[in-house]
Amino acid sequence: MTDQQWDVIIVGAGSAGLPAAIFAAQRGGRVLQIEADSKIGGTLYLSSGQMSAAGTRIQRKLGIEDSPQAHYDDAQRITHNTIDPILGRLAIDHAAATLDWLIDIGFELAPEAPQCGVTHEPFTVRRYYWGNNLALSILEVLAPVHEKLVAEGKIELRLNTRMNRLIEDDGAVIGVEATDADGATQAFHAANVALTCGGYAANPELWARTNPEQPLCSHTNAFSRGDGLLAAEQLGAQVDGADKYLSTFAGWRDDPEDPMSGQFFSLAPNARRPWEIYVDRSGKRFMREDSQSIDYLENKLLQQPDTKMFIVCDEGIWRNAPPICLLPEAEYRAKFGNHYNFLKADTMDDLAKQMGVDANNLKRSVAAFNTAVDNGKDPEFGREFLLRKIETAPFYAMGAHGITVVSPAGINADGQLRVLRQDGTPIPNLYAAGEVLGFTRLSGNAFVGGMSLTPALTFGRLLGQELIPW
Ligand SMILES: Cc1cc2nc3c(=O)[nH]c(=O)nc-3n(C[C@H](O)[C@H](O)[C@H](O)COP(=O)(O)OP(=O)(O)OC[C@H]3O[C@@H](n4cnc5c(N)ncnc54)[C@H](O)[C@@H]3O)c2cc1C
């Protein structure tokens, strides 16, 4: 392969990179796709696969009235008007075509979809979709189309090949330098480069730079190392969005020393009602645990030092409440007393000591909660789910962190997905789609259902179409 042969180099073969390569190759473009992992798919192996789109065929079939404008207004309402207006509109205006296309190539909706909301703040309209097998349902339909194009030689796919940097000439991008599994470094040249290499929630050093106040407790793709952000930043790209960070509610580091060992509790209001109390690092309650707003719960936790709280209960709750954890029940129960984060004690004093909180504060919090259960009224926080007191030893506590599944900051792009310099001018020949743009650009300072995955798929599709017009 000689230099300058590629029309486009697509860096990454995940949610954004797969549609980008498919659409560019179907239009006859000479496409090189490099992928650091040994397989395609990226975060589709982990993602819950929930998408949102307005004006879809399935909505029309079900008689659901909706429009991109209504979707946009709803998303801005949920995020307190913090979604990037240009890219937000672009993503939402083209989301229905993305979902319709997925269905055309075989994607099947779960029978209960579409819904207004499941894990995040609900939309006002049923525009929230998913398949039967999380995001694997999406990969299962993208992969055969992609594989066929690779087999036909229309996409040259190089697995185990990691981009190190972008190559520029006189301010314009002319290719990428990448290293393969044997350690060989090679330059690849193209008319355009599309960065679709994901976020950086698996890069603790970069995380510490963008979000020094919030220790990383991550559950994400190990290849989300921020390579696209760092490479574009070296060429002067604008990077922003970290200030809108919101963590998910909530989980723990399985290994206290490993920021990538994040695991989930099942605390979302749609999943489970809280029998326990939540206390801060001084041992005091600090929120209404049974709020139906996940945004409220997430923000209350975010305001805690190190985004950490404790979940506290007694033997009665521990035995009778539904599982609080996504691990198999026996595995989770066996952790108490045997894992740094799953604490068990015969007295409140001992529990407080293990938690490292003030024992008097903890005992006062529990006593006030027990009075609230007796009276059926929680004057301090207005909690209404007051089923059972915390009174029977042994007592239990679990540390709970805000979990990071997506990285907030990213490179900025204009309405044609051209990467922008700090002065707002585009870097010639450089494009971006997906989480490399920063999660908060499309989802603002809240979690809007589907507003990471759907824009990634949509922008990938648009890039493939725009870079190689018919
Ligand atoms: C647990 C979890 C649940 C989620 N659930 C949802 C959800 O329900 N709805 C939603 O909207 N969003 C969800 N998200 C977020 C969403 O899935 C991601 O933001 C989106 O899939 C990212 O797509 P992407 O193409 O930008 O990155 P990816 O899909 O991660 O693809 C990037 C690809 O680039 C490769 N790569 C990285 N660096 C390089 C390099 N230097 N050179 C070459 N290749 C490279 C990676 O290996 C990867 O294959 C979830 C995320 C997680 C972790």
Looking at residue 118, its pLDDT comes to: 84
Same domain, 178 and 81: yes
Atom of ligand 1 at shortest range from CA of 450: 11
Q: 12: CA distance to ligand 1 center in Å?
A: 9
Same domain for 384 and 457, yes or no, is no
Domain shared by 118 and 263, yes or no:
no
Q: Are 1 and 155 in contact (CB under 8 A)?
A: no
Angle at the Cα of 41 (from 35 to 45), degrees rounded to 5? 135
Beta bridge partners of 132: 134
Burial status of residue 45 (CB atoms within 10 A of its CB: 0-12, 13-18, 19 or more): middle
Indicate the residue among 388, 403, 418 that finishes a domain. 403
Please report the beta strands in 111-171, taking only residues with DSSP state E, as ranges in sequence order: 128-129, 132-135, 155-158, 162-169
Burial zone of 424 (CB within 10 Å; 0-12 exposed, 13-18 middle, 19+ buried): exposed
Q: Which domain holds residue 157?
A: 6-199+408-467
Q: How many domains does the chain have?
A: 2
Q: pLDDT band at residue 2, thresholds of 50, 70 and 90?
A: very low
Q: How far apart are CA 127 and CA 424, in angstroms?
A: 33
What residue has token string 């985004």?
A: 307
**Which one, of 221, 201, 219, lies nearest residue 210 by Cα?**
201
Looking from the CA of residue 34, the nearest atom of ligand 1 is 43
Task: Tell which of 376, 403, 430 closes a domain.
Answer: 403
297 contact partners, CB below 8 Å, separation of at least 6: 249, 267, 268, 269, 287, 289, 291
Mutate to test the pocket of ligand 1, among 37, 119, 453 (most ligand atoms within 8 A of CB): 453
Q: Which of 452, 457, 461 to mutate to test the pocket of ligand 1 (most atoms within 8 A of CB)?
A: 452
* pTM flag (> 0.85): yes
Do 287 and 365 lie in one domain? The reply is: yes
Q: What is the CATH number of the domain that holds 267?
A: 3.90.700.10
- For 325-443, where are the alpha helices, taking DSSP H only? 329-334, 348-355, 359-375, 439-443
Instruction: Give 135's pLDDT tier (boundaries 50, 70, 90).
Output: very high
CATH code of residue 122: 3.50.50.60
Instruction: List, in sequence order, every beta strand (DSSP E) within 108-184.
Output: 128-129, 132-135, 155-158, 162-169, 172-179
**Dist. CA 455 → ligand 1 center (Å):** 11
Shared domain check, 40 and 145: yes
Helix (H) or strand (E) holding 462: helix 453-467
Residue-wise pLDDT tens digits, 151-182: 999 999 999 999 999 999 999 999 999 999 99
346, 457: one domain = no
Confidence tier at 405 by pLDDT (50, 70, 90): very high
pLDDT tens readout for residues 249-302: 999 999 999 999 999 999 999 889 999 999 999 999 999 999 999 999 999 999
Together in a domain, 38 and 51: yes
Tell whether 414 and 397 lie within a shared domain: no
Q: For a pLDDT cut of 70, what percent of the chain falls above it?
A: 99
Which of 403, 438, 459 is the endpoint of a domain?
Answer: 403
Report CA 403 to chain centroid distance, whole Å: 10
d(CA 320, CA 162): 50
Cα of 367 to ligand 1 centre, how many Å?
Answer: 45
| Residue nearest atom 49 in ligand 1 by C-alpha distance | 42
One domain, residues 421 and 394: no
**Which residue has a Cα nearest atom 20 of ligand 1?**
453
Q: Is the domain of 23 the same as that of 172?
A: yes
